[in-house]
Amino acid sequence: MGAQLANTSDKHLNRLLQEMSNCFNDVEGIVGILHEQRVPLRSLAEEMWVLDHAEFYLEKIAMVRLKAIQEIVAKFGPDVQSFG
């Protein structure tokens, strides 16, 4: 889908794509916390907290936005043009 929309000129769709990209970057940043060295080491509970937040953000925000974009493209095609 990304390749199909890489050259879209639709401002609304570009905004949605940027928001979705930002969401996935946020998830990557949350998970990236686990790569940071820390003394004392994180407990298993702390690591689970990070993963739970990443999973929530991925499922409830990022994937919802991705699904909305996929539905727009499925309904109107990759050359969709919004009005307004």
Question: Which stretches of 18-83 are assigned E, i.e. beta strand?
Answer: none
DSSP state of 33: G
Q: Which residue has the higher pLDDT, 19 or 79?
A: 19
The closest alpha carbon to 27, from 65, 62, 69, belongs to 62
Provide the pLDDT confidence category of residue 10 given band limits of 50, 70 and 90: confident
pLDDT for 9 beyond 60 = yes
pLDDT for 81: 82
Residue 25, token pair as written in the block? 């970057």
Q: Which residue has the higher pLDDT, 5 or 82?
A: 82
Q: Using CA atoms, how far apart are residues 17 and 9, in angstroms rounded to an integer?
A: 12
Averaged pLDDT, 50-69:
93
The pTM of the full predicted model, rounded to 2 decimals, is 0.74
Q: Using CA atoms, how far apart are residues 65 and 84, in angstroms rounded to an integer?
A: 20
Domain residue spans of the chain: 10-76
